[in-house]
Amino acid sequence: MSIIKKLALAAGVSALLSSAAYADLSGKVIGFSQIGSESGWRAAETSVTKSEAEKLGVDLKFADAQQKQENQIKAIRGFIAQGVAAILIAPVVATGWEEVLTEAKEANIPVILLDRGIDAPQDLYLTSVASDQVKEGRVAGEWLVGAVGDKECKVVELQGTVGSSPAINRKQGFEEGIKGHANLSIIRSQTGDFTRAKGKEVMEGFLKAEDGGKGICAVYAHNDDMAVGAIQAIKDAGLKPGSDILVVSIDGVPDIFQAMVAGEANATVELTPNMAGPAFAALDAYLTDGTQPEKFIITESKLYTPKDDPQGEYDRRKGLGY
């Protein structure tokens, strides 16, 4: 056979192989260690993950950790003992994962991180599907810079869960976004643990400490749920959220768009609840022919303000698992 024919044959075979549809995940048992249901976004992430699994015929074993890392570690050990095909983890905090992920690696069970990152050797997980959380904070900060111009603006910050990658990264990003604008300053910053109730409680404390809120120009919340809690606290203090005190946050859940319609919120940076789609695609390729995915699969972050049809955005999201 001529060399030309051999090359054509080889090309044809490789084309055939690469175009082979990945063997599907149907019937595969996959464990999912979820943080909990602390926010509207988290609940949507859970429902979207379950529907993505159902679409693919995956037998998803779901474990809700109620915000506790020890419950996640227990669930992961249970998945390892069960001999699942893979494990999805949304890690509540960034540290303390090496031991249990080493156990998964030794059991040859691929791990995919969803939504949050960890401080651990990258060979302990197949890939991590998450947003660029520093960018989310930076976009929020840059929006506020544009909104206030040269006016002095004292900002209060509602941080996410202490030690979580989004709380660390969104704080860093926001500070980058306002850097160089001396008229903006963060005067108070405290965790509201990503929940509506805690966000309201901490905002009440900020308002009391700042002369009833007269000194506060804006609240930056690491997620919309804490922002919605803060909006209620601002109203209870007799002030107008969205005008007396600007409200900027992250997630893009329906309720923040409802607040925009009411003129009570000013900006949100969207976080997709569908991390599972890219995760399952990467897992499918890996299980089929060992394809190594990118270590970090970054999801989009988009700014929304009241100029972006908040009612339409509210209606659209209501059908997306929220």
What does the binding site for ligand GZL look like in residue numbers (CB under 6 A)?
38-39, 41-42, 115-116, 131, 166, 194, 223, 225, 250-251, 271
Q: How far is the CB of 39 from ligand GZL (least distance, A)?
A: 3
Element spanning 148, H or E: helix 133-148
Q: How far is the CB of 126 from ligand GZL (least distance, A)?
A: 19
Q: Are 112 and 283 in contact (CB under 8 A)?
A: yes
Q: Are 253 and 225 in contact (CB under 8 A)?
A: yes
Element spanning 58, H or E: none
Token pair of 311 as six digits: 């009612």
Identity of the residue, 45 or 284, whose beta carbon is nearer to ligand GZL in the bound complex: 45
Alpha carbons 97 and 90: distance in angstroms, whole number: 12
Q: Are 249 and 265 in contact (CB under 8 A)?
A: yes
Identity of the residue, 215 or 321, whose beta carbon is nearer to ligand GZL in the bound complex: 321
Identity of the residue, 43 or 239, whose beta carbon is nearer to ligand GZL in the bound complex: 43
Q: How far is the CB of 65 from ligand GZL (least distance, A)?
A: 12
Identity of the residue, 125 or 194, whose beta carbon is nearer to ligand GZL in the bound complex: 194
Q: Are 224 and 194 in contact (CB under 8 A)?
A: no
Q: Are 278 and 297 in contact (CB under 8 A)?
A: yes
Identity of the residue, 101 or 167, whose beta carbon is nearer to ligand GZL in the bound complex: 167
Token pair of 241 as six digits: 């959220």
Q: How far is the CB of 127 from ligand GZL (least distance, A)?
A: 16
Q: How far is the CB of 270 from ligand GZL (least distance, A)?
A: 11
